[in-house]
Amino acid sequence: ESRLRLAWVSLGLLLISYDLISLPLSLAYLLPSHPAFNTLDWLLFAFWILDMVSNFLTGFHGDGVTEMRPRKVLRVYLRGWFACDVLIILLDLMALLSKFFDSTGAVDDTAGSTKIVRAGRTFRMLRLLRLVRVMRMRKLIEVSVRLFDSLTSDVRVMIAKVMRLVTFIILLNHYIACAWYAIG
């Protein structure tokens, strides 16, 4: 892979890590409503749209050959991550728009409190649907496997595997702690 693609994938890994940490915090209402977080959410949304476009333009390795023909690249992407990417982007868009309309007060207050209650329920449901973003974790695993394959030293491979396990344990504890906080 080129250095530019490697930098793009590394940025994607960083953003997936942010999602993995911030998502349970936002579901447990521990993440404060701050303009910086809202801006970061919009930047994440823009990154994943650009990532989707870049996937249409990125070749792949198959049968020992690097395939760069647009039609074949398109076919592989459409059969692979395309549906997942579209679903995540649409859910992100709905969540961002509902958060935007909720924060600007664009909810119709003339119809009484039932519309406000429904809007609150819808917003909570959209927050829960953001769990679909965790599907990006699969991409993280695929990239980490490719990175492990590129390591040449057995010691480096061992260190990387231990770091991956420790990170998994920390994330699992983070999710459990946020779930317990949300429950009680």
* pLDDT above 60 (res 110): no
Question: pLDDT (tens digit, 9 = 90+) per residue, 23-59?
Answer: 888 777 777 878 888 888 899 899 989 988 988 888 8
Give the amino acid at 118.
R
* pLDDT above 80 (res 101): no
Question: pLDDT (tens digit, 9 = 90+) per residue, 168-179?
Answer: 899 889 888 888
Question: pLDDT (tens digit, 9 = 90+) per residue, 116-170?
Answer: 545 555 656 666 666 666 666 676 677 667 666 767 778 877 887 888 889 889 9
Mind spelling out the 3-state secondary structure of 128-147? HHHHHHHHHHHHHHHHHHHH
pTM for the full predicted model: 0.70
Question: pLDDT (tens digit, 9 = 90+) per residue, 82-92?
Answer: 988 898 888 88
12 in Cβ contact with 139 (< 8 Å): yes
